[in-house]
Structures are given as C-alpha cells and as structure tokens.
Amino acid sequence: MSEFELKQKSASVNKAGSSRTRWVAKTGILSAVAIILMYLEFNIPFMPVFLKFDFAEIPALLGTFAMGPLTGVIIELIKNLSHLPFSHTSYVGELANFIVCSSFVFVAGLIYRNNKTRKSAILSLVAGTITMTIIGVLVNYYINLPFYATAMGIDLDVIIGMTNSVGNNLVTDMRSLLAFVFVPFNIFKGVVISIIVMLIYKKLSPILHK
C-alpha cells in the first residue's frame, strides 16, 4: 500500500471516529433534554390524572430528523431507562411509553429520511401521530389497563370514575375509554409536538448536522 493510500485510509478512519463522537455527543444532549422534559409533566383538561402530558418527544423527533429514525428510538430508550428508578408502575408505564412514543418518532423519521422537504416533514409527522394513536390504543388495551386492574387493583370502573370526575362524561365502558381518552390524548400530543418541531427544526438544523 502506497503512502498516499495509507494517508487516505487514516483520514477516513479519523473522519469516521469523529462522526461517531459527534453522534454520541448530540444523542447524549438530546437524551438529557428529553429526560428533563419528561419530568416536567402535567395534566390536561378532561383527561384522568394518570395521563400526563410532556414535551419529551421534541428532542427525540429532532434527533430522528437529523440523524435517522434509530437515533430517535435510542433517545426514547435512554429517556425511559432513566425513569426506571422512579417508576410507580413496576416498569410497565415506562415500557408502554417507550413502545408508543418510539412508534411516533420512528415512523416520522423513516418517512422524512427518504425525502427531506417541508412537505415530507409534515406528512411524516401526520403519519407518526396516526401510528402513535393506534399503537397507544393497543398498548393501553393489552398492557396498561390489564396491569392496573391486576397488579394495582384499579379496575375499569375506578378508571371510568376518575375520568368522569374531571368532566369527561363520554366515558362509560372500555370502548368509550379508548375512544374518548387515549385516542384524543395521543392525537393532541402528536399535533402539539409536531407544531413545535416544525417551528424550531429549521433553526436548529445547522447545529444538529454539524
């Protein structure tokens, strides 16, 4: 191998190492922001107290747009792992959050990766929101609600009562609970997060792509 080829190979290795370092740094920073935002949760009107809204998907979406869908999923994983020591649901809540929110950022990132235009970004966020809403219904039906009923002794009637107590009288059974609580909650979250990301991504894009 010639001296020129050795220099080229060395430069390529250094460039790859530098790229990995930047990826780790950016993913770490976005994960840290996601962790902070996850703890700044709050209730929204007409939703039971156990449903909390937060903005933690903003950094995850920024990561998935800038560095690919797997990066967004990794940020979601780190965010939820950091919450495990403080879990009140025997880690079930964190598992559910990871599944639901990862579906949002992964689908959005997958679509945007192939065509990085404003129109594609909007389409990807709409698709991500729809996916999160569908996955949210399935996760709550098969994971969260059974867990609350069996492990925590909170049956469906109690959850319905908690929902009615905040003014949402549309909920009377399992089907209406899914339709009038979990569906609107995830749509609302997806829309709010998507609007914020659309407003700030272009401004932050130069930094995220360094």
DSSP character at residue 114: H
Q: Which residues of the chain have pLDDT under 70?
A: 1-17
Query: Which of 142, 117, 19, 132 minimizes the C-alpha distance to 72?
Result: 132
pLDDT the model gives residue 151: 76
Query: Using one digit for the tens of pLDDT, what is the confidence trace for 64-103?
Result: 999 999 999 999 999 999 999 988 888 999 999 999 999 9
Residue 6, pLDDT score: 44
Q: Check: CB of residue 45 under 8 Å from CB of residue 166.
A: yes
Separation of alpha carbons 201 and 179, rounded Å: 32
Supply the pLDDT for residue 174: 94
Domains of the chain, residue spans: 3-208
The alpha carbon of residue 115 and the mean position of all alpha carbons in its chain are separated, in whole angstroms, by 21
pLDDT at residue number 1: 56
Looking at 3.40.50.2300, 1.10.1760.20, 2.40.30.260, 3.30.565.10, the CATH number of the domain 3-208 comes to: 1.10.1760.20
Phi, psi (degrees; rounded to nearest 5) at 43: -85, 155
b/e map of 45-74 (b: 16 or more CB within 10 Å)? ebbbeebeebbbbbbbbbbbbbbbbebbbb
